[in-house]
């Protein structure tokens, strides 16, 4: 069963104060979760975009999800996206990706890796114009699963991979 849409999702910058809740969601969301130190490192990068999605919960806003994006040279790498398991299919990841795209250049190049079996996440990224442009074999050490390498560029939005590096 899917939950009703979150009434009012607010996306803002992620802060160090959010990290205890982030780590708690991370541990429930992934089989090989990031450590606290990995989040601290990402938050310390001045060029990165790290976002938090808050949802109202009985008066107090509650962290529903987070997104970590790093910039390497000219390319934005979406490093981590997760939503609290009790809050999924309410548009929280959609709100965070929309906010990310509003914060980068209109012709930005973005890339990410996703497990080949993660059909829900792949569908989410495709909705935003990401396209699969390659595979990294046995990328995930925990089970040897392949990663799909997805890109969102001006070309993928036109339906080609013409400007995707390495293709
Ligand atoms: C993937 C994830 C971030 C999606 O978060 P979410 O807030 O539930 O996503 P949204 O509600 O914005 O979903 C938007 C669309 O994405 C697709 N989608 C998302 N989750 C899906 C699922 N489990 N199955 C199928 N489609 C899914 C659907 O098209 C959905 O639209 P719909 O609900 O109208 O059908 C969340 O499931 C999660 O945290 N998963 C564990 C961590 C993870 O896999 N992160 C991605 C790593 S690359």
72 plus 1 within the same structural domain = yes
Give me the phi and psi of 49, to 5 degrees please.
-125, 110
Tell me the average pLDDT across 6-18. Answer: 91
75 plus 144 within the same structural domain = no
33 plus 80 within the same structural domain = yes
Domain assignment of residue 160, given as a range = 105-167
Atom of ligand 1 nearest to the CA of 124: 16
CB 167 within 8 A of CB 132: no
Residue 100 placed within a domain: no
Residue 96 placed within a domain: no
Residue 68 placed within a domain: yes
Residues near 30 by beta carbon (within 8 Å), at least 6 away in sequence = 82
pLDDT for 111: 98
14 plus 71 within the same structural domain = yes
Q: Is the pLDDT of residue 52 over 70?
A: yes
Atom of ligand 1 nearest to the CA of 64: 7
Active site residue 10: no
pLDDT for 64: 97
Q: Considering its fold, how many domains does the chain have in total?
A: 2
Residue from 10, 113, 126, 145 carrying the catalytic annotation? 113
CATH for 78: 3.40.630.30
23 plus 66 within the same structural domain = yes
Q: Is the pLDDT of residue 7 over 90?
A: no
- Three-state secondary structure readout of 23-80: HHHHHHHCCCCCCHHHHHHHHHCCCCEEEEEEEEECCEEEEEEEEEEEEECCEEEEEE
What percentage of residues in the chain have a pLDDT greater than 70? 96
Kindly report the protein residue whose alpha carbon is nearest to atom 25 of ligand 1. Answer: 120
Residue 95 placed within a domain: no
Question: Residue 121 Cα, ligand 1 centroid: separation in angstroms?
Answer: 5
Kindly report the protein residue whose alpha carbon is nearest to atom 24 of ligand 1. Answer: 120
CB 167 within 8 A of CB 146: no
pLDDT tens per residue, range 107-161? 999 999 999 999 999 999 999 999 999 999 999 999 999 999 999 999 999 999 9
């Amino acid at each position: 069963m899917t939950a009703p849409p979150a009434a009012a999702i607010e996306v803002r910058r992620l802060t160090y104060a959010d990290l205890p809740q982030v780590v708690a969601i991370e541990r429930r969301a992934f089989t090989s979760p990031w450590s606290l130190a990995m989040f601290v490192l990402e938050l310390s990068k001045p060029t990165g975009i790290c976002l938090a999605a808050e949802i109202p919960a009985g008066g107090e806003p509650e962290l529903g999800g987070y997104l970590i994006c790093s910039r390497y040279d000219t390319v934005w790498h979406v490093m981590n996206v997760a939503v609290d398991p009790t809050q999924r299919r309410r548009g929280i990841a959609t709100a965070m990706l929309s906010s990310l795209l509003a914060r980068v250049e209109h012709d930005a190049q973005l890339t990410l890796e996703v497990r080949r079996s993660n059909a829900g996440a792949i569908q989410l990224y495709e909705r935003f114009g990401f396209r699969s442009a390659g595979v990294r074999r046995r990328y995930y050490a925990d089970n040897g699963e392949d990663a799909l390498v997805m890109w969102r560029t001006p070309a993928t939005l036109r339906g080609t991979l013409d400007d995707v590096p390495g293709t």
